[in-house]
């Protein structure tokens, strides 16, 4: 029996209604930039503009950032809509989508909503959540049309090296499937970021991203897909059914942000580097947590060796005004996700609460 189509995201509903807290270690991006931190004048913003199949000045900047021609770029409302467009372009009802597990829930729900049969390949905790092409190969079938993974991985921040992606690309080509790589966290490697997987084979790899996570610019909703030109055109046509055209004022502000990206990136990198050191020190002193050494990104996914993660989450929220994401949203109920893109004082307060709650649960 096939599973019923998903009509929503349990994770997203939780994130919107339950994750807010004084010490919010559940939201996954870098602390939001405020408008006052962008050097913009009112003249830089307009309400209406020629945003049909992309506003040309924004298209040009996104293409330059991705190192591709503008015809490969589909602007989208966040990585969220970018993922939806990419999945919708390659999945027909009854096709198989092969998605990493654990995964960012909306990827799975969107594929299910499109009528795809969702299969999973494991990214194993005991292997630091690496993506293993052998696992992809085992789960692949002639009906697989999309292999979907995130890089860096949500929830673990594990990096998938391009050599591994090349092997996954070979497997995809063998069954005429695409590899959709959600690279929204890849920019958080900053100068260490490898070339986007799109460059490995533009006919196989389709990439999604946005300014949301690595730059603290979630409010702009500036996302995009990078795909071969024919697929990109299909996605623009699909978008005529959904967003049709974006808010032009947001496009203007996105241009401004892209023109100042090195400075915005420097702020984000400094914040993440300092917070990563703080969080690693905390993990080093907590034998009840098992977690790979922090290397990159802004989220970590520890395992609670003994005890109940939901009880921990409830105590954290009720007693310590702190939230983390319960691992059940990723299919691993003995894990939880901690975000460290927040301001240092928020991280310090949240870790104080987490330490106290872990002590009490002993």
Q: Considering the complex, state which of residue 212 and residue 323 has its C-beta at the smaller distance from ligand PLP.
A: 212
CB of 29 to ligand PLP, least distance (A): 7
SS3 186: helix
Across 125-160, b (16+ Cβ under 10 Å) vs e yields beeebbbbbebbeebbeeebbbbbbbbbbbbbbbbb
Q: Considering the complex, state which of residue 275 and residue 286 has its C-beta at the smaller distance from ligand PLP.
A: 275
CB of 277 to ligand PLP, least distance (A): 23
What DSSP line would sit under 263-319, residue for residue? Answer: HHHHHHHHHHHHHHHHHHHHHHT-TTEE-PPP-SSSEE--EESSS-HHHHHHHHHHH
CB of 218 to ligand PLP, least distance (A): 5
Q: Considering the complex, state which of residue 184 and residue 347 has its C-beta at the smaller distance from ligand PLP.
A: 184
CB of 11 to ligand PLP, least distance (A): 9
Q: Considering the complex, state which of residue 68 and residue 149 has its C-beta at the smaller distance from ligand PLP.
A: 149
CB of 244 to ligand PLP, least distance (A): 18
CB of 210 to ligand PLP, least distance (A): 3
Q: Considering the complex, state which of residue 78 and residue 349 has its C-beta at the smaller distance from ligand PLP.
A: 78
What DSSP line would sit under 49-73, residue for residue? Answer: ---BSB-HHHHHHHHHHHTS-GGGE
CB of 250 to ligand PLP, least distance (A): 13
CB of 194 to ligand PLP, least distance (A): 17
Instruction: Cis check for the bond before 340: say yes or no (omega within 30 of 0).
Output: no
Phi, psi of 326 (to 5 degrees): -65, 140
- Residue of minimal CB distance from ligand PLP? 78
- Rounded CA separation 174/161 (Å): 21
Q: Considering the complex, state which of residue 272 and residue 315 has its C-beta at the smaller distance from ligand PLP.
A: 272
Q: Considering the complex, state which of residue 223 and residue 350 has its C-beta at the smaller distance from ligand PLP.
A: 223
Residue ranges in contact with ligand PLP by CB under 6 A: 28, 78-80, 104, 150, 154, 182, 184, 210, 212, 218, 223
Reduced 3-state DSSP string for 79-112? HHHHHHHHHHHHCCCCCEEEEEECCCHHHHHHHH
- Rounded CA separation 311/283 (Å): 20
Contacts of 208 by beta carbon, 8 Å cutoff, 6+ apart: 76, 79, 82, 83, 86, 180, 181, 182, 183, 184, 223, 224, 225, 226
Are the C-beta atoms of residues 110 and 11 closer than 8 Å to each other?
no
Are the C-beta atoms of residues 128 and 335 closer than 8 Å to each other?
no
> How far, CA to CA in Å, does 27 sit from each of 12, 60, 229, 323?
11, 30, 34, 9
Q: Considering the complex, state which of residue 117 and residue 183 has its C-beta at the smaller distance from ligand PLP.
A: 183
CB of 100 to ligand PLP, least distance (A): 10
Q: Considering the complex, state which of residue 102 and residue 353 has its C-beta at the smaller distance from ligand PLP.
A: 102
- Rounded CA separation 254/208 (Å): 17
């Amino acid at each position: 029996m096939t599973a019923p189509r998903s009509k929503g995201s349990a994770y997203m509903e939780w994130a919107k209604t339950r994750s807010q807290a004084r010490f919010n270690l559940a939201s996954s991006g870098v602390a939001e930039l405020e408008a006052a931190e962008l050097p913009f004048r009112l003249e830089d913003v307009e309400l209406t503009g020629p945003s049909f199949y992309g506003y040309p000045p924004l298209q040009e900047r996104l293409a330059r950032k991705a190192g591709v021609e503008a015809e490969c770029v589909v602007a989208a409302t966040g990585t969220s809509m970018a993922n939806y467009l990419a999945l919708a372009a390659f999945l027909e009802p009854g096709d198989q989508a092969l998605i990493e597990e654990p995964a960012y829930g909306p990827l799975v729900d969107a594929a299910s909503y499109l009528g795809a049969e969702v299969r999973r390949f494991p990214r194993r905790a005991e292997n630091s959540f690496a993506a293993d092409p052998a696992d992809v190969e085992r789960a692949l079938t002639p009906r697989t049309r999309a292999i979907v993974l995130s890089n860096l991985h949500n929830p673990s921040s594990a990096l998938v090296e391009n050599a591994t992606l090349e092997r996954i690309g070979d497997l995809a080509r063998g069954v005429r499937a695409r590899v959709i790589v959600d690279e929204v966290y890849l920019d958080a490697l900053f100068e260490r970021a490898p070339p986007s997987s799109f460059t490995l084979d533009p006919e196989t790899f389709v990439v999604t991203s946005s300014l949301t996570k690595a730059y603290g610019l979630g409010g702009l909703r500036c996302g995009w897909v990078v795909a071969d030109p024919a697929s990109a055109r299909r996605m623009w046509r699909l978008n005529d059914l959904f967003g049709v055209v974006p808010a032009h004022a947001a496009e203007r502000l996105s241009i401004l942000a892209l023109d100042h990206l090195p400075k915005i990136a420097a702020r984000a990198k400094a914040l993440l580097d300092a917070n990563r050191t703080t969080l690693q020190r905390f993990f080093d002193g907590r034998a009840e947590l098992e977690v790979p050494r922090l290397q990159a990104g802004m989220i970590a996914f520890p395992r609670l060796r003994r005890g109940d993660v939901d009880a921990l989450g409830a105590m954290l929220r009720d007693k310590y005004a702190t939230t983390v994401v319960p691992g059940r949203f990723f299919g691993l109920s003995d894990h939880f996700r901690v975000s460290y893109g927040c301001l240092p004082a928020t991280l310090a307060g949240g870790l104080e609460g987490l330490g106290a709650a872990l002590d009490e649960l002993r």
